Amino acid sequence: MTSPAPIAAHRWLMTEPGKKLVRAEFLAAADAGEVVVAVAGCGVCHTDLGYLYDGVRTNHALPLALGHEISGRVVAAGAGAEAWLGRAVIVPAVLPCGTCDPCRRGRGAICRSQKMPGNDIHGGFATHVVVPARGLCPVDEERLASVGLGLADVAVVADAVTTPYQAVRRAEVAPGTLAVVIGVGGVGGYAVQIATALGATVVAIDVDRGKLDAIASHGAALVLDAREMDGRALKAAIQNLARERALPQTEWTIFECSGTAAGQQTAWGLLVHGATLCIVGFTMEKVEIRLSNLMAFDARALGNWGCVPDLYPAALDLVLARKIAVAPFVERFPLDEVNDVLAAAHAHKLRRRAVLVPAA
């Protein structure tokens, strides 16, 4: 069997931290077990900004195309992956190998051979991306159209939706849970919606009134502005809500999604007896805490790295069932404007999550 012919494509490469991305032509070709995906959309994530502006190192040597929130259509397939040809897909942000010991035990998030687009391999700030076929999430385009979404829009499912979905599932959120989400732009906004969909009463905390207003109509039972309240006042407001809703004053589930030192300090200060603290956001900043509080409160802390591909269909189904709203929180931009979009995101000038769309 002959290999599929390479496809003329281009991508935008990070060549060094702080510098504008550079457009580069390449030929996209799939080896055995791989596919070439024509990118419909690629979301711009806080992690991409970390690589470009904050000194976070990529695993792949530069130059590298960033971007790990990818949706598109399979246009070429290597040996063993032919069944994917022509299908609409979401590319998981973390692609475990599927064969190592952690993968076999259901711990694909810690697979040491995992491939993350825009970190381990070239990512989706491109017209095409070459990725392993294992773990791809198929998209039902008829259902997608029925809820008023295009394939580009669900690029954000690859991280902004699925990462908090895994965190919420791991934290065992259920009806009767009081959940607190800190940082409700992007990942945190979807964390609010997912926890609500699974039956929790959710408190949203942020320093951006616009983000709080947006999420107030998408699942948050209470929104609190951390600029106007100190840690003690925040905790008191949540306790009041718990009393009003006949919810427990213990065993809160706290999701830190802001990826800031201030947000992490706030999350730590909200620990109560039996609490579950979920660290979803990432920051290079250091935080000083008294770790013994976990012991004193008999609490637990959970990290969360991406989302295993097995959970993607269920997360996507919440979008297609209209239990998670995507359209109000995304905005499309032409791929060729990538440098301007990244600069605007870094300057906090974007109100929605940017999705970069290659020209037709």
Name the residue with tokens 């397939």.
Answer: 77
pLDDT at 5: 84
**CA–CA distance, 88 with 226 (Å, rounded to integer):** 41
**Residue 128: C-alpha distances to residues 14, 26, 145, 190, 275 (Å):** 16, 9, 23, 27, 44
Q: Which two tokens stand for residue 107?
A: 């711990």
Written as one letter, the residue type at 228 is E
CB 320 within 8 Å of CB 161: no
pLDDT at 127: 98
pLDDT at 29: 97
Written as one letter, the residue type at 4 is P
CB neighbour class for 16 (10 Å; exposed up to 12, middle 13-18, buried from 19): exposed
Q: Between β-strands 137-138 and 253-256, what pairing exists: parallel, antiparallel or unpaired?
A: unpaired
DSSP H or E stretch at residue 342: helix 338-346
Cα within 13 Å of Cα(192), Cβ side: 30
pLDDT at 3: 65
pLDDT at 340: 98
Nearest to 171 by CA among 276, 279, 259: 276
Spans in the chain with pLDDT lower than 70: 1-3
Nearest to 237 by CA among 297, 181, 263, 229: 229
**CA–CA distance, 36 with 34 (Å, rounded to integer):** 7
DSSP H or E stretch at residue 336: none
Looking at the chain, the domain(s) classified CATH 3.90.180.10 span: 7-159+307-357
**CA–CA distance, 300 with 221 (Å, rounded to integer):** 24
Looking at the chain, the domain(s) classified CATH 3.40.50.720 span: 162-303
SS3 (DSSP) at 179 = strand
**CA–CA distance, 41 with 337 (Å, rounded to integer):** 13
Domain 162-303 class, CATH top level? alpha beta
Mind listing the pLDDT tens digit for each residue in 79-121? 999 999 999 999 999 999 999 999 999 999 999 999 999 999 9
**CA–CA distance, 184 with 181 (Å, rounded to integer):** 7
pTM of the model: 0.96
Third-level CATH fold of 7-159+307-357 = Quinone Oxidoreductase; Chain A, domain 1 (3.90.180)
Name the residue with tokens 């290659």.
Answer: 358
